[in-house]
């Protein structure tokens, strides 16, 4: 059995826009490459929301280096990732990067996802929290009029001027993603009543903190719009309790701990009658190209992560008329 030489190194991506959501704002994104025998086969994007600090990642790299000598075939690598996924020693994103590298190095995609694998998918395009004047420039830069679904990031105050512009100048469906910005039920009701009047809103996403189960239960009972959750689900499997909270889930390979776990989560969610979305972090096309192959498993794709990079070093996708092509 030939030894695999593992290496993990950081990369900083300048962004083409200031990426602002309700809890953070960034103009630079630090990710990590996973190299096997000197070639980049995987990438991972730590998220501070889940406690994935760069200091903790650097420590995990040292721990992984001491373990990696035994990870020399696909079974050992996948068993390692599966065994670590919920014990907290490694970040979910770290394990996702290792597993993505394994899938690509050993060409495992059609082994875990029914062939033929898709070579393209329709994706939504996100708008950060931004001034209206900045939005008008962003609209042109990102060619928002070409996308079938546009996701608008929101804080406690709805960006109504932006939403109305999209309604009047595009034919796109619109979603509103709060990233846990709301703290009370009354504000959520007020927002939904406003949004529902447009007849263009596909869903709202993660209005409350992930700990606010009771608010989600009440909102699902009341809301005329589908409610999706994101931060609430990381590596755990959806359950009957999850069904009480939402109409659907935004799954991300980085949150799930790898593609294998994400696919299993999606299958479970389907059996529970939940809608499924496949999302991403700010990642290069090294990762996004992999997610396109998973796109047939879900109802919505939100795979715009590489479009926010000032320059994508891999150029493994093209985007035409809102369609991502491999």
In a domain, 74, yes or no: yes
pLDDT at 114: 82
pLDDT at 122: 98
pLDDT at 1: 61
In a domain, 312, yes or no: yes
**Residue 257: is its pLDDT beyond 70?**
yes
CB 309 within 8 A of CB 284: yes
User: Do 130 and 91 share a domain, yes or no?
Assistant: no
**Residue 82: is its pLDDT beyond 70?**
yes
State the number of CA atoms in the 13 A half-sphere of 69 facing the CB: 3
User: Do 44 and 142 share a domain, yes or no?
Assistant: no
Domain boundary among 89, 111, 133: 111
In a domain, 319, yes or no: yes
CB 64 within 8 A of CB 81: no
- Phi, psi at 310, each rounded to 5°: -60, -35
> 159 is in which domain, residue-wise?
120-325
In a domain, 26, yes or no: yes
User: Do 295 and 214 share a domain, yes or no?
Assistant: yes
**Nearest by Cα to 226 from 295, 181, 173:** 173
User: Do 144 and 66 share a domain, yes or no?
Assistant: no
pLDDT at 84: 95
pLDDT at 115: 78
User: Do 102 and 26 share a domain, yes or no?
Assistant: yes
pLDDT digits (tens, 9 = 90+) for 106-158: 999 999 888 799 999 999 999 999 999 999 999 999 999 999 999 999 999 99
User: Do 228 and 290 share a domain, yes or no?
Assistant: yes
pLDDT at 166: 98
**Residue 253: is its pLDDT beyond 80?**
yes
Residue 167's CATH number? 3.20.20.120
**Is the C-alpha dihedral spanning 65, 69, 72, 78 positive or negative?**
negative
Residue that wins the pLDDT comparison between 136 and 87: 136
pLDDT digits (tens, 9 = 90+) for 46-59: 999 999 999 999 99
In a domain, 76, yes or no: yes
pLDDT digits (tens, 9 = 90+) for 30-49: 999 999 999 999 999 999 99
pLDDT digits (tens, 9 = 90+) for 219-244: 999 999 999 999 999 999 999 999 99
In a domain, 269, yes or no: yes
Residue 38's CATH number? 3.30.390.10
Q: Which secondary-structure segment (H or E) carries 99?
A: helix 92-105
User: Do 157 and 295 share a domain, yes or no?
Assistant: yes
User: Do 51 and 22 share a domain, yes or no?
Assistant: yes
Distance CA 23, CA 101 (A): 30
Q: Tell me what the mean pLDDT of segment 12-37 comes to.
A: 97
Does the pTM surpass 0.85? The reply is yes
- Phi, psi at 117, each rounded to 5°: -75, 135
User: Do 180 and 259 share a domain, yes or no?
Assistant: yes
Domain boundary among 93, 111, 129: 111
**Residue 2: is its pLDDT beyond 90?**
no
Where residue 169 falls among pLDDT bands split at 50, 70, 90? very high
DSSP collapsed to 3 states, 102-161: HHHHCCCHHHHCCCCCCCEEECCEEECCCCHHHHHHHHHHCCHHHCCEEEEECCCCCCHH
In a domain, 1, yes or no: no
pLDDT at 88: 86
Average pLDDT of the chain to the nearest whole number? 97
User: Do 201 and 238 share a domain, yes or no?
Assistant: yes
**Residue 307: is its pLDDT beyond 70?**
yes
User: Do 163 and 272 share a domain, yes or no?
Assistant: yes
**Residue 99: is its pLDDT beyond 70?**
yes
User: Do 182 and 72 share a domain, yes or no?
Assistant: no
Query: What is the residue-wise DSSP string for 255-311?
Result: HHTSHHHHHHHHHHHHHTT-EEEEE--S--HHHHHHHHTTGGGSSEE---GGGGBSS
Q: Tell me what the mean pLDDT of segment 273-301 comes to.
A: 98
Question: By CB neighbour count within 10 A (0-12 exposed, 13-18 middle, 19+ buried), where does 82 fall?
Answer: middle
pLDDT at 315: 97
Number of domains in the chain: 2
Domain boundary among 111, 143, 174: 111
In a domain, 177, yes or no: yes
Task: Provide Rg for the chain, Cα atoms.
Answer: 19
């Amino acid at each position: 059995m030939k030894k695999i030489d593992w290496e993990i190194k950081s990369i900083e991506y300048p962004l083409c826009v200031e990426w602002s959501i309700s809890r953070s704002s960034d103009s630079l994104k630090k990710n990590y490459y996973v190299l096997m025998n000197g070639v980049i086969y995987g990438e991972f994007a730590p998220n501070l929301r889940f406690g994935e600090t760069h200091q903790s990642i650097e420590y995990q790299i040292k721990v992984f280096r001491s373990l990696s000598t035994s990870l020399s075939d696909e079974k050992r690598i996948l068993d390692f990732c599966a065994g670590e996924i919920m014990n907290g020693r490694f970040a979910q994103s770290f394990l996702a990067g290792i597993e993505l590298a394994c899938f690509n190095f050993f060409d495992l995609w059609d082994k875990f996802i029914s062939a033929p694998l898709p070579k393209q998918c329709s994706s939504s395009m996100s708008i950060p929290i931004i001034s209206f004047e900045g939005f008008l420039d962003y609209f042109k830069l990102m060619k928002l009029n070409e996308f079938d679904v546009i996701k608008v990031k929101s804080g406690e105050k709805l960006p109504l001027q932006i939403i109305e512009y999209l309604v009047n100048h595009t034919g796109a469906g619109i979603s509103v993603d709060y990233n846990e910005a709301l703290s009370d039920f009354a504000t959520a009701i007020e927002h939904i009543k406003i949004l529902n009047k447009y007849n263009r809103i596909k869903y709202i996403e993660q209005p409350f903190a992930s700990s606010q189960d009771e608010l989600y239960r009440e909102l699902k009972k009341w809301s005329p719009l589908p409610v999706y959750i994101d931060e609430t689900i990381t590596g755990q499997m959806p359950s009957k309790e999850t069904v009480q909270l939402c109409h659907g889930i935004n799954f991300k390979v980085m949150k799930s701990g790898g593609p294998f776990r994400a696919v299993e989560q999606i299958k479970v969610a389907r059996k529970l009658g939940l809608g499924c979305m496949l999302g991403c972090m700010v990642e290069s096309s090294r990762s996004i190209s992999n997610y396109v192959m998973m796109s047939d498993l879900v109802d919505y794709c939100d795979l715009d992560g590489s479009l926010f990079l000032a320059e994508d070093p891999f150029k493994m996708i093209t985007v035409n008329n809102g369609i991502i092509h491999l």
